[in-house]
Amino acid sequence: MNPMYTSFNGYLGGPIGSIIGAILIFVIGWLVALGIAALVRGVLSKVNLNQRMNSSTGKTYDLEGIISKIVFWFIFIMLSQAHLAN
* Domain boundaries of the chain, sorted by first residue: 25-85
* Cα 12 to Cα 17: distance, rounded to the nearest angstrom: 5
* Cα gap 31→8, rounded to integer Å: 22
> Count of CB atoms within 10 A of residue 1's CB?
7
- DSSP reduced 3-state for 33: helix
pLDDT tens-digit readout, 9-67: 666 666 766 777 788 888 999 999 999 999 999 999 999 999 999 898 888 889 999 99
Query: In terms of residues, how long is the chain?
Result: 86
User: What gap in Å lies between CA 12 and CA 34, rounded to an integer?
Assistant: 29
- pTM score, whole prediction: 0.74
Helix (H, G, I), strand (E, B) or coil at 13: coil
